[in-house]
Chain A
Amino acid sequence: MTLSRGIKRGFVGAALLTIILVIIGLITSYFGSRYQLRLVYSTYVNLLVVLGLQVFMGNARITNLSHSAFMGIGAYAAAICVTPVNIKALSLPNAPWGLNAFSLDPLSSALIAIVITGTVALLVGLMIVRLSGIGATIVSLAFLVIVHSLFLYRTDIFKGNQAFFGIPQVFNLASVIALSAVVVFSVRIFRESKWGVALRASADDEVGALSMGVEMYRLRLIAWVFSGMLLAVAGIAYAYFLGTISARPFYFNHVFLTLAMLIFGGMRTVTGAVLGTFVISLGLEMVRWLETGPVFLGIDLPEALGLSGIALGVVIVFTMALRPSGIMGEHEIEDLVLKK
């Protein structure tokens, strides 16, 4: 038996996706306006989130609604570490535990943020992985609410809905594309690894997998923590590009948006995650244009505020009703070019 066959196909698939990601980035860099550059950057950040979500949700097939919370933890942890002391003296004058008395370089800050988020994910994961179905989803939702409440009410640390400013803007489009490529490879290799295959087996049939020796809860925990760390990376990329963060982007709207991306593309595959992110991002931009009440083909369209929320809901409803496994189903991109 050639046991590494899946891994080889995974490398091919990840390479093809990386080529597409780089091409989109290059086209935007050369031809895009400043606004479009920003838009594409946020799409890549959302791609990191959706890939992080896919690692757990796609392989264990347990719906997670707390991913934006982990992104927020990563973003705030990095922001607190990296922001210069003189700025923190202004923005966080009452910060406890000496959080405003030190400042680290961006790389160290990012690594610390990933470790902190991974540790939090481990603690939450110990509870979540033993639950299945709706139980796990409700716990993840509760965690999202807890974290958001902390962001809002510990203003001495997170500044709540006010802007946490002064984060060095060390990331650009090239950095986030490079990061996306690394994450695409990591997520794809995880999916095809013996852990990923066993986790997918347990999602198909728990009892069957347990009887084949699969340590299902341990594998779920590994995927959950890995997912949390990737979401931290997304948060860091977000903070290091914008230079300013607040609690609001790490809550329901973002959960809903990224969930729609994954569901639409197909949660079971990495290609689905990539496809869903780009199609929904593009589609949403068109809907936002429609929201403003533009003149289209000579017709003065009315203003339609809230249309983007409706559109996302409709995408989720129709995908779940007509094609629950998303556009890609079980297919990865290399299935188009390689023999099965």
Chain B
Amino acid sequence: MLELSGISKTFGGVKAVQNVSLCIQPGEVRGLIGPNGAGKSTLVNLISGLLTQSSGVISLNGVPLDGFSTPKRARLGIARTFQNLRIFSSLTVHQNIEVANNIGQSSGRENDNFLKNAIEKFDLSEKLNTSADSLSYGFLRRLEIVRALALRPNILMLDEPAAGMNEQETAVLGDALKWIRLRSDCAMLVIDHDLRFIMGLCDQITVLNMGEVIAEGKPNEVANNRQVIDAYLGEDHAIAV
């Protein structure tokens, strides 16, 4: 269980995240939405240890993560992808996955079948010996997710996984993420601007605006929340939930 309690982050005088508390249970898929600059990516960076919070506590399965470096958090099972791809471009697809796989195995969370199946599910089996720098954008997105899964994470944070994808590719991605959910107890925190995609995928959604949580609840509750409509969705939104 990932728990954030009263997390704030300021950059100079700018309050990027203010007093955010949330709790994500094992197996839960949580959406994190909000307008640009709302603090979504900052929150993911705080959880993964790339940034340090100004106040508040982040804990995983009851263990406070204060002072834990990013690699140490990854070893504890906090995995993520990035809004801007961060692939190891000089390595093959296989080696990209191997880097995380070695850490996952050394952390004692082995599950070779799950990883093997994930590679197949994300259509990477035929690409294993291909150099990552020759993959198309869609495959790079998939590789980043499979690489994160190779850590055998307790929580997988996906920062705009559907960015740049067409409708069909987004549908395939959504299907693959649901597959992960069915086959592991890994929780997911998903950031995306494609509301149809995120509303169809998530159990719970948290909405951030100006660094603060303005709403939290099931997708249909959030979609009809007046504050969320005013701050992010707009009056003419039409999301089938």
A residues lining the B interface (CB < 8 Å):
1, 3, 5-6, 194, 197-198, 200-201, 203-205, 207-216, 268, 330, 340
B88:A211 contact, CB within 8 angstroms? no
**Which chain B residues lie closer than 8 Å to A205 at the CB level?**
86-89
Verify B96–A213 contact, CB threshold 8 A.
no
Q: Which residues of A contact B103 (CB under 8 A)?
A: 212-214
Question: Chain A residue with minimal CB distance to B70?
Answer: A210
Taking a contact as CB atoms under 8 Å apart, the answer to whether A200 and B50 are in contact is: no
Q: How many A-B residue pairs have CB under 8 A?
A: 90
- What are 21 A-B contacts defined by CB distance under 8 Å? A1-B119, A3-B102, A6-B98, A194-B99, A201-B88, A201-B96, A204-B87, A204-B90, A205-B86, A205-B88, A208-B86, A210-B50, A210-B71, A211-B70, A211-B82, A212-B74, A212-B79, A213-B72, A213-B104, A213-B151, A330-B131
B100 and A208 within 8 A (CB): no
Which of chain A's residues has its CB closest to B106's CB? A213
At the interface, is chain B mostly helix, strand, loop or mixed? helix
A208 and B88 contact, CB distance less than 8 A: yes
What residues of chain B lie closer than 8 Å to A209, measured between beta carbons? 88, 99
Q: Contacts A208-B82, A211-B74, A213-B74; is A1 near B99 (CB within 8 Å)?
A: no
Query: A198–B99 contact, CB under 8 A?
Result: yes
Q: Report the minimal beta-carbon distance from A31 to chain B, rounded to whole angstroms.
A: 40
Q: How far is the CA of A36 from the CA of B102 in the complex (A)?
A: 47
Are A212 and B99 closer than 8 Å at their CB atoms? yes
Residues of chain A within 8 A (CB-CB) of B94 are: 1, 5
Q: Mark B126-152, 1 if CB is under 8 A from A, else 0.
A: 000111000000000000000110010
Residue B227 CB within 8 A of the other chain:
no
State the CA gap A1–B83 with chains docked (Å): 28
Chain A residues with CB under 8 Å of B90's CB are 200, 203-204, 268, 330
Contacts of A3 in B (CB 8 A): 98, 101-102
Q: A205-B86, A207-B86, A214-B71 are in contact. Are A197 and B91 (CB under 8 A)?
A: yes
Given A5-B94, A208-B87: 19 more A-B contacts, CB < 8 Å: A1-B98, A1-B119, A201-B88, A201-B95, A201-B99, A204-B87, A205-B87, A205-B88, A207-B82, A207-B86, A208-B86, A209-B88, A210-B71, A211-B48, A211-B80, A213-B75, A213-B100, A213-B104, A340-B130
Closest chain-B Cβ to A84's Cβ sits at a distance in Å of 49
Shortest B86–chain A CB gap in Å is 3
Instruction: Determine the distance from Cα of A203 to Cα of B71 in the docked complex, in whole angstroms.
Output: 15
| Assembly CA distance A252 to B91 (angstroms) | 33
Q: How far is the CB of A211 from chain B (nearest CB, A)?
A: 6
Q: Complex formed: what's the CA distance from A210 to B100 in Å?
A: 10
By a CB distance below 8 angstroms, the chain B residues around A213 are: 71-72, 74-75, 100, 103-104, 107, 151
Most chain B Cβ neighbours within 10 Å, of A5, A205, A208, A268: A208
Q: Which residues of B contact A216 (CB under 8 A)?
A: 71
Whether the pair B151, A212 counts as a contact (CB closer than 8 A) is yes
Q: Is B116 an interface residue (CB 8 A)?
A: yes
**A215 to B107 Cα, complex, angstroms:** 13
Q: What A residues does B210 contact at CB under 8 A?
A: none
Give the residues in chain B near A212, CB-CB below 8 Å.
74, 79, 99-100, 103, 147-148, 151
Task: Give the CA-CA distance A158 to B119 in the complex, in Å.
Answer: 59
A198 to B74, CA, bound (A): 14
- What does the 1/0 interface line of B175-218 toward A look like (CB < 8 Å)? 00000000000000000000000000000000000000000000
CB pair A204–B88 under 8 Å, yes or no, is yes
Alpha-carbon separation in the docked complex, A207 to B97 (Å): 16
B115 on interface, CB distance cutoff 8 Å: yes
With a cutoff of 8 Å between Cβ atoms, the chain B residues found around residue A340 in the complex are: 129-130
Q: What chain B residues lie within 8 Å of A210 (beta carbons)? A: 50, 69-71, 74
Given known A197-B95, A211-B70, A213-B75, contact A1–B101 (CB-CB < 8 A):
yes
The 9 A-B residue pairs whose C-beta atoms are closest, nearest first, are A208-B86, A213-B74, A213-B103, A201-B88, A204-B88, A210-B70, A212-B100, A194-B102, A205-B86
Q: A330: which B residues are within 8 A, CB to CB?
A: 90, 131
CB of B123 closer than 8 Å to a CB of A = no
- List, in ascending order, chain B residues with CB within 8 A of A268's CB: 90
Docked complex Cα distance between A200 and B90 (Å): 8
Q: Is there an interface contact between B102 and A198, defined as CB atoms closer than 8 Å? A: yes
A198 to B94 alpha-carbon distance, docked (Å):
12
With CB as the reference atom, state the residue of chain B lying closest to A215.
B71
- Residue B112 interfacial (CB < 8 Å): yes
Which of B48, B72, B98 gathers most chain A CB within 10 Å? B98
* Chain B neighbourhood of A200, CB < 8 A: 88, 90-91
Chain A residue contacts of B101, Cβ below 8 A: 1, 3
Q: Which of A197, A204, A211 contacts B98 (CB 8 A)?
A: A197
User: Nearest Cβ distance between residue A218 and chain B, in whole angstroms?
Assistant: 9
